[in-house]
């Protein structure tokens, strides 16, 4: 099996963003799961799986996602593309891809990534 890093199509940046996963439960009620991003790219986000260990977050699951960092929030439809159980020192995580992100949120996402790439994010 190939290294997961080899499958990445976009450069990723470590950014301590809050991630809200907005989805409907089986009975139609709204649910929000909150996690911390491990890294962020223009194409998606990788979150800590131990923080969101919900059985509905399996590959193919679709929901809306909000990524927030220092007053900037990006909202997009999203889909789980993989769950990594972790191995050795690598912690478990969930790979999520943004789908059909609108131009306004795309611009906000690009601004977050530019700041992260330049090391201009204020320290928490």
Per-residue model confidence (pLDDT) at position 16: 84
Mean pLDDT along residues 74-91 = 90
Average pLDDT, stretch 95-113?
A: 94
**Parent domain of 87:** 11-117
Number of domains in the chain: 1
* pLDDT recorded at residue 117: 76
CA 28/CA 23 separation, integer angstroms: 9
pLDDT for residue 124: 39
Is there a domain that residue 2 lies in?
Answer: no
**What is the tens place of the pLDDT at every residue in 27-71?**
888 888 889 999 999 999 999 877 566 777 889 999 999 999 988
What CATH number corresponds to the domain at position 31?
Answer: 2.40.10.220
């Amino acid at each position: 099996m190939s290294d997961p890093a080899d499958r990445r199509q976009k450069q990723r940046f470590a950014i301590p963003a809050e991630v809200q996963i907005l989805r409907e439960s089986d009975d139609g009620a709204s649910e929000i799961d909150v996690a911390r991003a491990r890294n962020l790219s223009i194409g998606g986000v990788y979150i800590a799986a131990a923080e969101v260990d919900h059985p509905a977050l399996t590959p193919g699951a679709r929901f809306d996602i909000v990524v927030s960092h220092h007053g900037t929030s990006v909202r997009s439809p999203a889909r789980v593309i993989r769950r990594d159980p972790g191995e050795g020192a690598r912690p478990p995580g969930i790979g999520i891809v943004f789908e059909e992100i609108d131009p306004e949120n795309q611009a906000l996402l690009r601004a977050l990534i530019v700041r992260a790439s330049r090391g201009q994010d204020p320290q928490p």
